[in-house]
Amino acid sequence: MSFPVDPRARWVLIYRWVVFLLAAGFMIRQLVVAADYGHAGGPFRYLTIWALVLSFVAASRMLALTEGRSEKTWSRLVMVAAVANGLTVLMYWRLWLQDPALVVAGDPLPLWVDYYLHGVGPVLQWIDVLFIYGGFRRPMRAVLPFLGVALGYLAWVELFVGPFNDFPVGPVTDGLPYPFLNALEPAARLQFYGVTVVTGLVILGLFAGLAWGIRQLQPTSAARSAESPDR
């Protein structure tokens, strides 16, 4: 691997290595070291882990672009990862601030893990996609992949995770990964899922608007980007 001479390219390479190594480290911790496979679905019961996997894959592809190891643009991947992270952060903290017991079953995560998964990690990925990669130029291309991930997760939770688990225990049902879901009747859960998917699409639109604003403020920087997803 040759180290870039251009200062900006050098800092981009360093930044992407840091983001990649952090994502890889937390993947190993959450999926191997501290993983609980005693329940059906293991750590993959949680949307947070799906977002972490997307962040890791996106980080690896951004690093591959910087090092010239990929000819693909990966625009859909980085957009879906950003939206999944946004949805995870928004839903988690909204419920946690209301009552941590709504989203935490059993022992809580160590604070340093909690803050990375629901804060630092997503922010690092957003900085890349918005300020380095210059993504969200064609946000409509991310709609179907996002819906695929969102509906895939909901089907996974309702058709596998819930039926094959008896924890957490709720007043209505058992086994759904987040405690508050087990307190909702099926119709109420369906409504919540619908609102969540729509919220994800709104987040996609907000990211697209933010990316457009950044490009207007930094037209020169955006114009010289060698990794523009629409080149």
The rounded Cα 62 to chain-centroid distance in angstroms is: 15
Residue 218 binned pLDDT confidence (cut-offs 50, 70, 90): confident
Q: Quote the pLDDT of residue 219.
A: 58
Residue type, 58: A
- Tell me what pLDDT residue 231 has: 40
Q: What is the mean pLDDT of residues 206-222?
A: 83
Q: Is the pLDDT of residue 56 over 60?
A: yes
Q: State the average pLDDT for the chain.
A: 92
In whole angstroms, how far apart are CA 96 and each of 27, 62, 155, 182?
Answer: 23, 32, 24, 16
What whole-number distance in Å separates Cα of residue 64 and Cα of residue 17?
10
User: Whole-model pTM?
Assistant: 0.92
Region 57-75: what's the mean pLDDT?
95
pLDDT reading at 227 higher than 50: no
Nearest to 167 by CA among 104, 91, 113: 104
